[in-house]
Amino acid sequence: MADRREHYLWDLFQRVDTDHSGSISVHELQTALVNGDWSPFNIETVRMMVGIFDTDNNGTIDFGEFRGLWKYVEDWSRCFKKFDQDNSGSIDCQEMSHALRTFGYNVSDRFVGTLIQTFDKYGTGDITFDNFVQACVTLSTLTKSFRSRDYESRGSIIINYEDFLTLVISSRPDMKGS
């Protein structure tokens, strides 16, 4: 079974590596990934994923890195389908609120609306798979950064403007160049 999966992943990797360089660029990966509505993945989401799995920091994904990235995509896909309760292929405010509560976030409906609006690339009031991943990973990353400064676990921090900018910019996985 493991050999069959490895063979499948190798075939997939070779199809995505359209220039046959032995590694996958951000643009090659974007071309290979589609949402349930057949729209291409948001380039920022693709950059974020490459940034997470590019362990040698060369801006591309080799086959070893691709294995981890593909498992990550499959795991997020299962998660997305679990919360897309109406099987519409997108997550609306109610579904996102349910997902975030399940993940342990206690946030207001107003915040969920802001999150959906921020990651809604079509202005339809919901988000596609790629932007769901980006929204969740961004929220997780920002939460970790916040908690690292919430020394007494009070749910609040005091921070000056430059420290705030540093916190947000350094913690956004999609802002690291590729």
User: What mean pLDDT comes out for the span 142-158?
Assistant: 85
175, pLDDT greater than 50: no
Question: Residue type for 4, please?
Answer: R
CATH of the domain at 95: 1.10.238.10
d(CA 121, CA 113): 14
Specify whether the CB–CB gap between 54 and 17 falls below 8 A.
no
Higher local confidence (pLDDT), 171 or 69:
69
* pTM, two decimal places: 0.80
Record the tokens describing residue 79, joined without a space.
Answer: 């998660």
**Number of folded domains in the chain?**
1
What is the pLDDT, as a whole number, of residue 151? 86
119-128: Cβ within 8 A, 24+ apart = 121/42, 124/90, 125/92, 125/93, 126/88, 126/90, 126/91, 126/92, 126/93, 126/95, 127/90, 127/91, 127/96, 128/35, 128/36, 128/37, 128/39, 128/89, 128/90
Confidence of residue 176 (pLDDT cuts 50, 70, 90): very low
Burial 118-147 (b: 16+ CB within 10 A, else e): ebbeeeeebbbbbbbbbbbbbbebeeebee
Write out the residue range of the structural domain in which residue 77 sits: 2-175
% of the chain exceeding 70 in pLDDT? 95
Per-residue pLDDT reduced to its tens digit, 29-66: 998 888 877 788 889 889 888 988 999 989 999 999 99
